């Protein structure tokens, strides 16, 4: 068995069950903090340099890969170099899916086109009112990430980024609600988007399209909780193997502690785990 970090007996057993079912496994992964190291400027984030080789190696052992992210799907494809990965997977008859903007957008290696809804009604009016609210809380210099279907207010560059994000939550939630929108808090970011979709629903869609016999999902933040819950519920309903992986870096326990079957240290740890899974799955079929 590959060397695993922070695994209790149950985590080890769940890992072993996924190895045994590898050929039928759907591997779903978050992008920022899971495949891509967290950086100060979201536009400079890139997938880990080892990710392409690890994902391509893994694809030969599992049923399908999916990236389920808060990023716009097209941006995840670009920052992840996913076109090239999809090319390699196509040669082995395997599929890679991208569900972006928390499941609102989708892209696949077969289609190579981003499909999604128009921007939500209310987003433009929300953005027009946003500067006044930010100024009232001393956050007029916050970095605003325009995402098409959503907007992200980033506090990472402030002296107390977590404290500021906490203070901004109530007024941004109120302004969002006034415009029929909801907030999605993340790592030193508050995103504002349309309600009605989340990563759990993306998992449900993947389950119906891929018909997996097992699921591994890895994530790092609050927005991954619904995906964790959907995978766990699917496993309990079907009796199929599941493995929930927490990509964790930093001193705090973080939002997924207690929900995951095992923890690994950031993207480096995630890729180590997936490398080990490929090797163990290869050993299991010898």
**Is residue 158 near ligand L263DTV3 by the rule CB under 6 A?**
no
**Is residue 69 near ligand L263DTV3 by the rule CB under 6 A?**
yes
By CB under 6 A, name the one of 15, 31, 217, 234 that touches ligand L263DTV3. 31
Residue number, 116 or 223, with CB nearest to ligand L263DTV3: 223
Q: What is the DSSP string of 21-78?
A: TGGGEEEEE-SBTTTB---SSGGG----TTHHHHHHHHHTTSSEEEEE-SS-HHHHHH
Residue whose token pair is 């992986």: 245
User: What residues from 186 to 245 belong to the interface with ligand L263DTV3 (CB under 6 A)?
Assistant: 186-189, 191, 221, 223
Residue number, 158 or 209, with CB nearest to ligand L263DTV3: 158
- Min dist CB 265 to ligand L263DTV3, Å, is 16
- Min dist CB 9 to ligand L263DTV3, Å, is 29
Work out whether the CA dihedral 286, 264, 33, 268 comes out positive or negative: negative
Indicate the length of the chain as a whole number: 286
- Min dist CB 82 to ligand L263DTV3, Å, is 13
Q: Are strands 95-100 and 64-68 parallel, antiparallel or unpaired?
A: parallel
According to DSSP, residue 81 is labeled T
**Is residue 145 near ligand L263DTV3 by the rule CB under 6 A?**
yes
Q: Which of 93, 24, 84 is nearest to 55 (CA)?
A: 84
Residue number, 94 or 187, with CB nearest to ligand L263DTV3: 187
- State the Cα–Cα distance between residues 187 and 167, nearest whole angstrom: 14
Element (H, E) at 9: helix 9-20
- Min dist CB 57 to ligand L263DTV3, Å, is 22
Residues contributing to the site for ligand L263DTV3 (CB under 6 A): 30-33, 38-40, 42, 45, 69-71, 145, 147, 152, 154, 156, 186-189, 191, 221, 223
């Amino acid at each position: 068995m590959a060397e695993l970090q922070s695994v209790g007996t149950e985590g080890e057993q769940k890992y072993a069950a996924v190895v045994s079912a590898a050929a039928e496994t759907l591997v779903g992964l978050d992008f920022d903090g899971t495949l891509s190291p967290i950086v100060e400027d979201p536009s400079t984030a890139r997938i880990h340099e080892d990710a392409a080789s690890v994902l391509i190696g893994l694809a030969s052992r599992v049923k399908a890969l999916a990236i389920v992210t808060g990023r716009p799907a097209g941006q995840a494809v670009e920052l992840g170099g996913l076109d090239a990965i999809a090319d390699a997977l196509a040669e082995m008859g395997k599929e890679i899916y991208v569900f972006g903007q928390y499941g609102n957008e989708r892209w696949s290696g077969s289609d190579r086109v981003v499909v999604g809804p128009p921007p939500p009604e209310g987003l433009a009016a929300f953005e027009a009112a946003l500067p006044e609210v930010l100024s009232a809380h001393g956050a007029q210099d916050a970095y605003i990430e325009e995402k098409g279907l959503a907007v992200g207010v980033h506090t990472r560059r402030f002296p107390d980024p977590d404290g500021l994000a906490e203070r901004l939550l109530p007024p941004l939630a109120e302004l969002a609600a006034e415009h029929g929108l909801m907030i999605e808090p993340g790592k030193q970011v508050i995103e504002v988007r349309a309600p009605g979709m989340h990563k759990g629903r993306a998992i449900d869609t993947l389950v119906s399209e891929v018909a997996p016999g097992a699921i591994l999902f890895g994530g790092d933040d609050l927005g991954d909780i619904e995906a964790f819950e959907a995978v766990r519920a699917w496993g309990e309903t079907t009796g199929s193997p599941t493995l929930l992986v927490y990509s964790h870096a930093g001193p705090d326990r973080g939002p997924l502690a207690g929900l995951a079957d095992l923890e690994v240290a950031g993207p480096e740890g995630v890729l180590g785990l997936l490398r080990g899974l490929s090797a163990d799955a290869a050993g299991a079929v010898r």
